[in-house]
A and B are shown apart, each in its own frame.
Chain A
């Protein structure tokens, strides 16, 4: 294990035509990331047949290029159009879009670019650091830890919806209700499927997300008319890109926090980038000196989730490579590419296929950096989108995102669901209900329910006793309690400070 292999892989990628595969993967990734409804999963799925004819290493470069670039692409749309291009960029809209509305889009994109690149690099270095302990990491996360992580994620909903707690909880509960649709993971019984076999596997995430964010936002824009950016031509000059880039270094604590949360959540199968970015956003907002500035264009609210959604790739490689358990939806497709090339994931992969795995790691690193650089080069033009009349943007985005949803599984029902969710999302915008809360609850609800059932079975009906006997479970329980207590403590301290300053005055 180690640096020799890594340096070797770096040398190899610059030799011959390998860089070309990486660059093509990256361009595909950026493009699929930018377009709502299309994402890394679709891009990789479409590339599977292409990789069939390639050398395994070149296939790794192609896949790594896609995976590294896709999340930055998604953030661009999130910031400029309030529409996350991919699921993991959903948390970026909270502060990215308000920044764009204030004419600070250049700054937001700059921050997204640098934090994506740095987050990706931190994630990969964490991966390299943890590779020797991959076994212990994976073995110490069982159903009990999955359940508690899901609970922690659900509790973070309460923080992210500062000021409209009740609405946040209603949206979250709606998400949990939707999570119950489909076959029960334990008994296989069908629930709330209304006779549609489409619903057997539950409500699919991509159409729901595309509907709730992309379609609804397009309805909103179409009804409002005009252009996205409220201030007119005076702001056509793109300023603040460098300031944005630099801000990731200035707010290194938010960057680091986002990267570490991203890597950790990435390593837990089934949670994925959306949850990683969301948790790092809410954790950064919560621990900030001025939490109320979040959601109104605080640059830290862009840096944290952006760092997380690139760092998660490094994390999700741990279970994928070492055990053949995909850490995310993209990794599931990536596993298929590995198998196609005769590489079987499992305990022996790092020894037998060192070349391919390090090749992938290098491709991922370079891709996150290059994608940010290329993205920045085009910022000037991309920001102009916010000044284009929405009557041009709306039909384009709707047509492309519906096509993207259809392409993923080839089911017309997905398109119908996207439209329905688009209407639901529009109603939520109108009545000011947070949409991401619903998505997070939909993702976590399934994990929470299933793993709780499993813990219950494993522990012979004594789940609490089982959990408190496991150290990582205890840490997660404490984190969850802390999530609720911290705001209360802070309020108390603030009160005391006010009281003291009053006393100090004569």
Chain B
């Protein structure tokens, strides 16, 4: 009797994934976890993706903000959920990659997350105030004191990017952290408290258009803004690959067919004219990668930051 039950359960378990896809998604809402509060970049992109997912999957997609603990609470919530495709989340990469490389407890294993798709990769840029006497990166480095930069927290992605980038360029920085949002870090530049700030290009767009900020360089291989040099042109190709990635993932152990269906759907969305147009209007750098490519990217990033872990641990004190 028990053996029969066991056999039945095994049979059920083995057929489950196929059955899951056949039924998935039934009329049950999919929760899309955002590990930050409403209004930020991660929130916005999920809220743009959600209705597109709804239209293609035929079920409700509910964005849910689970902010807190530097964006790890949301990741933990996804990690705890059933791998049934009804809970997915968006991840801040390389923010979490760095946390894991520097052995900060994030409450879940990044390596266990089922990676579904990479959506965007925002390029970083370095900017100064419009009336700053500094016009090039070389001039910035030639100040006879450490360069003052503004950031939200030492473990924020842009702060880490700044630390690694300027160590490669070879000039000393003093990162002033504690600003409560990326807008405030830019205003700090305008107030003149700091010399420059390194931030995703799209988040600076408003102040670049109003003329309050002026770009010195973009961290990219290809020119992104006319007349502004790239780091590759300046001779630092290693730092051109930095970006802020917005990656979609799910709980550990999601069935492959489910992942493929979700991944394909995301690829379809990111290729749609509507989404491309939105990305262009908000200066979001699209980098659509399907599940296997995303997985590979994550491994590559983990290796890269592993290398810089000692440097990062040192700046953390």
A-side residues, CB < 8 A to B, are 45, 48, 138-139, 142-143, 183, 185-188, 197, 200-201, 269-270, 323-325, 332-333, 335-336, 338-340, 344, 346-348, 409, 450-451, 453-454, 457-458, 460
Contact = CB atoms under 8 A, between A and B. Distances in A.
9 contacts: A186-B178, A187-B317, A197-B72, A200-B70, A332-B37, A339-B39, A346-B207, A454-B176, A458-B194
Nearest to B278: A342
Interface of B: 37-39, 43-44, 47, 68-70, 72-73, 76, 107, 145, 148, 153-155, 174, 176-181, 183-184, 187-188, 190-191, 193-194, 206-207, 209-210, 212, 316-317
A143 B44 CA distance: 29
B176 A457 contact: yes
B178 A450 contact: yes
A433 B80 CA distance: 43
B106 to A, nearest CB: 10
B107 A344 contact: no
B38 A339 contact: yes
A197 B207 CA distance: 36
Contact of A186 (B39, B44, B177): B177
4 tightest CB-CB pairs across the interface, nearest first? A336-B38, A346-B206, A200-B69, A347-B210
A409 B64 CA distance: 11
B37 A336 contact: yes
B183 A325 contact: yes
A458 B183 contact: no
Given A186-B153, A340-B38, 13 more contacts: A139-B190, A185-B177, A197-B72, A200-B68, A323-B187, A332-B39, A338-B39, A339-B38, A339-B43, A344-B206, A346-B207, A450-B178, A454-B178
B146 to A, nearest CB: 9
A121 to B, nearest CB: 28
A187 B194 CA distance: 18
Contacts of B70: 183, 188, 200
A323 B183 contact: yes
Contacts of B73: 197
B212 A142 contact: no
A142 B154 contact: no
A265 to B, nearest CB: 16
A270 B179 CA distance: 11
Contacts of A197: 69, 72-73, 76, 107
A385 to B, nearest CB: 35
B153 A185 contact: yes
Contacts of A336: 37-39, 43
Contacts of A48: 38
Most buried by A among B178, B180, B206: B178
Contacts of A340: 38, 47
Nearest to B315: A187
A187 B316 contact: yes
A142 B188 contact: yes
B113 to A, nearest CB: 18
A332 B212 CA distance: 24
Given A332-B39, A346-B206, A454-B176, A324 B183 contact: yes
Nearest to B47: A340
A464 to B, nearest CB: 16
Contact of A348 (B37, B187, B210): B210
Contacts of B43: 336, 339
Contacts of B207: 346-347
A344 B176 CA distance: 26
A338 B174 CA distance: 35
B196 to A, nearest CB: 14
B241 to A, nearest CB: 25
A200 B207 CA distance: 32
Contacts of B68: 200-201, 409
A201 B67 CA distance: 10
A457 B68 CA distance: 26
Contacts of B210: 346-348
Contacts of B194: 458
A188 B191 contact: no
A469 to B, nearest CB: 12
A454 B178 CA distance: 7
B184 A333 contact: no
Contact of B187 (A139, A185, A187, A270): A139
Contacts of B148: 457-458
A450 B180 CA distance: 10
Contact of A188 (B190, B209, B316): B316
Contacts of A460: 145
Contacts of A339: 38-39, 43-44
A325 B187 contact: yes
A347 B44 contact: no
A201 B193 contact: no
Most buried by B among A324, A332, A340, A347: A324
A353 to B, nearest CB: 13
A201 B317 CA distance: 20
A139 B191 contact: yes
A348 B191 contact: no
Contacts of B316: 187-188
Given A142-B191, A454-B176, A187 B154 contact: yes
Contacts of B44: 339
A270 B148 CA distance: 24
A335 B178 contact: no
Given A335-B39, A339-B39, A339-B44, A188 B155 contact: yes
B277 to A, nearest CB: 13
Most buried by A among B44, B69, B72: B69
A460 to B, nearest CB: 8
Contacts of B153: 183, 185-186, 188
